[in-house]
Amino acid sequence: MYIYFILLGLNSFLTQTILLRETLIAINGNEIVFAMFLSLWLMVVGFGSILAGKTISSGKNNQQWVYKLLPLTVIITIGELFLLNPLLKILIPVQGQLVNIPNLILLSLIILAPGALILGFLFPVMCQLLKTSKNPVNSGYLNECLGFIIGGALFAFLIGKISNLNFLIVLFVINIFFVLRYNLKIFIPLLLMLVFGYTFLIDSYAQLYEKKYEAQRLILTKDSKYGRFEITKSFEQENYYWNGQYIASSDNTLYAEEVVNFILLQHPEPKRILLVGGILNGVLKKLHATSQVKQIDCVEINAQIIQQAPINSPDPKVNYYQDDIINFLRNSDQKYDMIIIDVPDPQSLEINRYYLSSFINLLSSIMVDSKSVLVQSSSGGVNNLIAEIGLLTSIISRTTNPYFVYSTIIPSIKNLYIASNSNYISNDPVELINRKQNQGIKSPVFNEILIKDRCNLMRIKQIEQALAKYNTGRNTLDYPAAYLTSIMLWLRHLGIRIEDYFNLFNKSPVLLFILSLSGLFVFLRAISALSHSSTLPWDLVIFNASFINFVFEIMLLNIFQSKFGLLYYYIYLFSLLFMLGLVFGFILQRLIKLCVLIPALFNLFLIILLLNLFEVVESALPLFILNFLVATCEGYLLAYLLVLKFRTDRIKSGVSFYSLDSIGAMTGGLIVSIILYPLYGFRTAVLFILILATINLLILLPHSLKQFRKNKH
């Protein structure tokens, strides 16, 4: 029976990963959407476990449930892949329109909930089949974790090599093999049907997927470890999409002419240029055509984007580096006259790293001399007075200014924030026109009329006055101010204004803390009642432990992404190490009987260590070690508590444990990703879980003292 727990873990990891990935790409999701979807997934898994409690007591044939539902989870996931884009057509009739919150919830319920409900339902049902085991819940959870580890390893090895649909087809074959391996009369015909219908299934999905781009022809879709790159064609124009988001098109002459000429006028002789972004939107092509530019280094992590670059390699002017920009900066000894950062606004923590003060500090260290220039583009342009865009520009200014003596802004098609240690940079229209004439720049687009319009002194003064009124801080790893601003702008497009709540909770963090703890306790009490648990103190510790360690892993991922990049390459390693830590903790609890206060105290110590290390860590290794150790603590603690719960609740402990574990992690992800981290930053989020870890310690203390006295006598 243990093989089915491994299969359950394998199904859970792969179906969850594939569905979340496809859904986020379909709607251009950010961390807020990801947190919402993952939280709903975990919540439904928890309620599926509670639902199983009712079924177990009814005396139905639980083994038949397992045989039928395990393959069904994969079939449902395949069906949801086919349903996703047609459903979006109904919810979003206009292509490119943002999905509002009610439709996001409806979409997640339809796409994610059915499979999650079955997966949550199966765990307690399968525990019921292990009645003869000394502790079936403990053994079942351990083997499910092994399934997660196998799923993570498979996904890491095969991502980019086979499509998500092929992944699910292989998973379905694995499921029916283990379910029907003793019934070849059914297994072989079913396998033959799948083989003969494979081509039809793949072609049907490809045709359906292509329809998501209206009036465009999909000519390339390619998955990699870092995301999905797609190219469509409309008449003679090619359009480029990254994870479902439009990033550039092949016809960007107007943008490139205006932006690049404004940038080049900020340096007397820009010979060596570092370009981050801007490969496909015409910026690279325009720079390459400029005679005074002698070397352009383009750093891009995705090979597909480099392959589509307008300048083929090798080229005497252009060097392509397939690398993460932060990794490149840490290991390169190159120096530049000009650095151009042309990336999207920080609508995700992945993009926010390009706006962090630590990143700007790295850039300031690779400049040739005081005349070197940094240029950052962001949304805004000539109409810069929208509150959130003004706030974002102000944050960019306050983050960049400590590293440079002079700065200025040009409201071009995008806002160009320009910084240097030389006063040569300028947004004065007369000066720019003189430089244009002296350099012999001839362009039908970039003319005197455009320069006077964009750099109108009245407009510049209005922008500077608007920026001065914002009392913003710097964009740091501890407090991602630019990311929060983009989230506020995103919510404003959906008709949701959170400024009042943001200001209230910023002024009264204690109020938010009290509300959060009260809400957690009420929620926990409801879950315990639904699952008929009779061990509320242990339920609280399980709930808190899952909350704490899930948040701990999220914080580690945020640190890794901000400091080292390459997260999408290494995220599988974080997941594998975490699951290995859980398994090791469960095994350790069986082999070594420690006082339960020891893992609880060590968990507390790891949280304090994280608070002190996150800004100074210079290697990724400590983060991987912390990830494994905190998972080991959780595994040991959960294994110990399962023994206590099994003594009172017996087999029903599987229902309450699995629901508390899932919903505890769900609550942690939701509260931290949506509220604590964006509003208060890294330290406050970690301090919150430090308080929860202390509460766990206080709950466990009387039990430990009682056990100590008992052992002493």
Angle in degrees, CA 49, 52, 56, rounded to 5:
140
Strand order in the sheet with 217-224: 217-224, 227-234, 237-242, 245-249
| CA 445 to each of CA 132, 256, 450: distance values in angstroms, whole numbers, following the listed order | 80, 10, 8
Residue 143 lies in a domain: yes
Question: pLDDT tens digit string along 562-605?
Answer: 777 666 667 778 888 888 898 899 899 888 888 889 999 999 99
Judgement on whether residues 440 and 517 belong to the same structural domain of the protein: no
The pLDDT-based confidence of 373 (bands split at 50, 70, 90) is: very high
Residue 299 lies in a domain: yes
Reduced 3-state DSSP string for 384-438: CCCHHHHHHHHHHHHHHHHHCCEEEEEECCCEEEEEECCCCCCCCHHHHHHHHHH
Q: Tell how strand 237-242 and strand 338-342 pair up.
A: unpaired
Judgement on whether residues 623 and 516 belong to the same structural domain of the protein: yes
Of the ranges 115-119, 270-274, 279-283, 456-460, which is most confident? 270-274
Residue keyed to tokens 């496909």: 280
Q: What is the mean pLDDT of residues 30-39?
A: 75
Select from 215, 230, 261 the last residue of a domain.
Answer: 215
Residue keyed to tokens 């006055």: 465
Which of 192-201, 428-437, 686-695 shows the lowest mean pLDDT across its residues? 192-201
Residue keyed to tokens 């898994």: 45
CB 327 within 8 Å of CB 570 = no
Residue keyed to tokens 């290697």: 619
Select from 472, 506, 534 the last residue of a domain.
Answer: 472
Domain of residue 466, CATH code? 3.40.50.150
Residue 227 lies in a domain: no
Which of 322-331, 559-568, 678-687 shows the lowest mean pLDDT across its residues? 559-568
Instruction: Look up the domain containing 207 and give its range.
Output: 1-215
Which is higher by pLDDT, 488 or 106? 106
Angle in degrees, CA 277, 427, 372, rounded to 5:
55
Residue 642 lies in a domain: yes
Closest CA to 664 of 683, 633, 628, 638: 638
At 363 the pLDDT is 94
| 385: pLDDT strictly greater than 60 | no
The pLDDT-based confidence of 168 (bands split at 50, 70, 90) is: very high
Judgement on whether residues 110 and 153 belong to the same structural domain of the protein: yes
Residue 64 lies in a domain: yes
Closest CA to 11 of 197, 159, 195, 170: 170
Q: Which amino acid is at 406?
A: Y
| 122: pLDDT strictly greater than 80 | yes
User: pTM higher than 0.85, yes or no?
Assistant: no
3-state SS assignment for residue 217: strand
Judgement on whether residues 317 and 415 belong to the same structural domain of the protein: yes
The pLDDT-based confidence of 381 (bands split at 50, 70, 90) is: low
- Which letter does DSSP use for residue 354 in this model? G
At 432 the pLDDT is 95
Closest CA to 463 of 391, 400, 404: 391
At 108 the pLDDT is 81
- Which letter does DSSP use for residue 228 in this model? E
At 466 the pLDDT is 76
- Beta bridge partners of residue 318, listed in sequence order: 296
CB 266 within 8 Å of CB 257 = no
Which is higher by pLDDT, 140 or 261? 261
Judgement on whether residues 128 and 189 belong to the same structural domain of the protein: yes
For residue 539, how far is the Cα from the chain centroid? 29
Residue keyed to tokens 């929620």: 523
Token pair for 698: 């206080």
Residue keyed to tokens 């986020």: 24
Q: How many residues does the chain have?
A: 713
Token pair for 94: 């206009």
Q: What is the mean pLDDT of residues 15-23?
A: 87
Q: What is the tally of structural domains in the chain?
A: 3
Judgement on whether residues 33 and 116 belong to the same structural domain of the protein: yes
- Beta bridge partners of residue 376, listed in sequence order: 341, 417
Select from 192, 215, 238 the last residue of a domain.
Answer: 215
Question: pLDDT tens digit string along 275-298?
Answer: 998 899 889 999 999 989 999 999
Judgement on whether residues 463 and 592 belong to the same structural domain of the protein: no
- Which letter does DSSP use for residue 281 in this model? S
Helices (H), 129-252: 136-158, 164-180, 184-210
Q: Which residues contact 567 (CB under 8 A, 6 or more apart)?
A: 350, 557, 560, 561
Q: What is the mean pLDDT of residues 607-631?
A: 90
Q: What percent of the chain has pLDDT over 90?
A: 27
Q: What is the mean pLDDT of residues 627-647?
A: 87
Between CA 13 and CA 4 the distance in angstroms is 14
Which of 179-193, 526-540, 550-564 shows the lowest mean pLDDT across its residues? 526-540
509-530 helix and 499-507 helix, angle to the nearest 10 degrees: 100
Annotate 356-368 with b (16+ C-beta within 10 A) or e (fewer).
bbebbebbbebbe
3-state SS assignment for residue 339: strand
At 519 the pLDDT is 64
Helix (H) or strand (E) segment spanning residue 222: strand 217-224
CB 27 within 8 Å of CB 86 = no
Between CA 95 and CA 86 the distance in angstroms is 12
Judgement on whether residues 305 and 179 belong to the same structural domain of the protein: no
| 405: pLDDT strictly greater than 90 | yes
Judgement on whether residues 551 and 591 belong to the same structural domain of the protein: yes
Mean pLDDT across the chain, nearest whole number? 83
Domain of residue 648, CATH code? 1.20.1250
Taken in order 626, 630, 633, 635, is the CA torsion positive or negative? negative
Which is higher by pLDDT, 261 or 593? 261
Q: Which amino acid is at 508?
A: S
- Beta bridge partners of residue 222, listed in sequence order: 229
Question: pLDDT tens digit string along 501-513?
Answer: 566 566 666 666 6
Judgement on whether residues 459 and 542 belong to the same structural domain of the protein: no
Q: Tell how strand 406-411 and strand 415-420 pair up.
A: antiparallel
Judgement on whether residues 407 and 547 belong to the same structural domain of the protein: no
| 653: pLDDT strictly greater than 80 | no
Between CA 598 and CA 490 the distance in angstroms is 45
At 127 the pLDDT is 81
At 16 the pLDDT is 87
Taken in order 409, 411, 412, 416, is the CA torsion positive or negative? positive
Other CB atoms within 10 Å distance of the CB of residue 292? 11
Judgement on whether residues 538 and 642 belong to the same structural domain of the protein: yes
Question: pLDDT tens digit string along 185-243?
Answer: 677 777 788 788 888 889 999 888 888 887 788 998 888 877 788 999 988 888 998 88
First to last CA, the chain: 41
Which of 86-95, 322-331, 394-403, 629-638 shows the lowest mean pLDDT across its residues? 86-95
Residue 637 lies in a domain: yes
Residue 37 lies in a domain: yes
At 259 the pLDDT is 93
